[in-house]
Amino acid sequence: MLLHRLVIVILGTIWLLWVLFTRYHFDWTALEWGAFGLVILSVLSSGYELIKEKGFKKREE
């Protein structure tokens, strides 16, 4: 599960940066902003879970 979250965070961050810097985001529709927001939430929650899981493993040692 750790690798799965790490892949989501890395690829999601690259995709978010690519979308922001290659598209004219001021022309987006509400649906596009909604989809972009869902991806942001997914990347942030995966990153949070990854940090929380790594911290939990360090405390066990």
pLDDT score at 6: 85
- All residue ranges of the chain with pLDDT < 70 are 1, 23-25, 56-61
Could you tell me the CA-to-CA distances from 51 to 23, 35, 36, 58 in Å, in that order? Answer: 30, 24, 23, 11
pLDDT score at 41: 92
